[in-house]
Amino acid sequence: MITVYTDQHKLRDSKTELYGGEMVPPFECPRRAEIILGAVKSAQIGEIIAPTSHGMEAVFAVHDRGFVEFLSTCEAEWRAAGFKGEAIATCWPTRTMTAPHIPTHIDGKIGYYALAAETTISSGTWEAVLASKDVALTATDLVLDGARSAFGLCRPPGHHAAIDQFGGYCFLNNAAIAAQHARDMGCERVAILDVDFHHGNGTQNIFYDRDDVLFLSLHGDPKDAFPHFLGYVEETGAGAGEGFTANYPMPPGTGYAAWKACLSDALASVDNYKPDLLIVSLGVDTYENDPISFFKLGHDDFIDYGRAIGALDLPTVYMMEGGYAVDEIGINVTNVLIGHSNGTRAG
C-alpha cells in the first residue's frame, strides 16, 4: 500500500490549545505524523511518495468560498489587528444571537467560522492545510488509477471541518474533498466510513442531503464526547440523502466486542451500497490509552478491524484523522493498514 506524505505538515505547529480551562500544548502536533511515518517505514507497508499539487475545484465544491478565503487570510488579519497570541475564537453566533451577518473584524469573523475554541490558527497553518488536501487527493488518484488501496497521511486532519466551519483541529475536510473529487472523476457512488473516536460532524454536514455519498460514523456518544451537538442515532440524512447517513454513538468504556458489532453493521451497509470507492477516515483515538477519548481498543483490535474492512475488497483510501496517544499512534495505524492488506488477500 502506497503512503502519501509531505513534510509541509510541519508548518502547522501551533503552541496553544484551550483544554480543561488551561492553555496547553496542542494534542494535535507535528510529532504525530512523524511517528506514523516512522512506523510505516519500519513495517515496510509500501512505497512513500510526495503529493502532487491539485487545484481548488473539489474544495469549492464542498466548502463555502467565503470560509476558504477566511482560512487563507485569518492569521494575517489577526496580526494586523494587533493581537499577540495565536488566533482563537472567543465569541460565537449562539442560540440567542443568530443575525445573518458575518463580522468584518477578525475577532468576530473567527467566531463566525469556528465551531469550537480549542483550535488556534497560527503562522503556517494555511500552507499545511493545502498540503494536507493535496495528500488526500493524491492518495485518491492512486486508487482511481488502479491501485487497490492507498494511505493519505493527512495532517492537519479534516473530518470536523464543515461546509463553513473549522474546529476539532480540522480546517478543510480531506475525506469530503476526496469524495467529491472521486465523483467528479466518474465514481457514481462513494462511501465514507469514519472510525475516529469523535463524530465526523463536518463530513455529515457536507453530505447530509446527498445520496451519492454514503456516510457512516462510529464514535463516542456526543452526550459525553466532542463535538457534543451532532452524531446522534436519529440523524439519518435529509431530502435525497435520507437513509444515507448512519451514526453509531457508543458510551464511555466501550470495548472492542461492542465496537466491532457496530463496525460489522456499518460494513454491511457499505457492502449493500456497492460504492465505487471507499474512503476511511482513520482515527486511532479509539485506543484504550488515548488521552482524550474513552474507548478501549487494544493494538490487536486495529489489525482485526483493518482485516474486516479489507475483506470488502473495495478500492479503498485511508485518510489520517485523529489519535493522540503519541507513542502508540504509529503501531495502531500500521496495524490497520496491515490488517487491511491481509483481509484483501484473504477475501
Active site members: 160
Rounded to 5 degrees, φ, ψ at 318 are: -95, 130
> Which of these, 342, 274, 281, lies nearest to 314 by C-alpha position?
274
- What kind and span of H or E run contains 214? strand 213-220
C-alpha cell at 50: 510526495
- Sequence length of the chain is 347
State the DSSP H helix or E strand holding residue 282, giving kind and residue range, or none if neither. strand 277-282
What CA–CA distance (Å, rounded) separates 310 from 85? 45
Number of Cβ within 10 Å of residue 184's Cβ equals 11
Residue that has been written with the C-alpha cell 458510551 in this structure: 251
* 8 Å CB contact between 112 and 74: no
In 3D, which of 286, 329, 29 has the Cα closest to residue 156?
A: 29
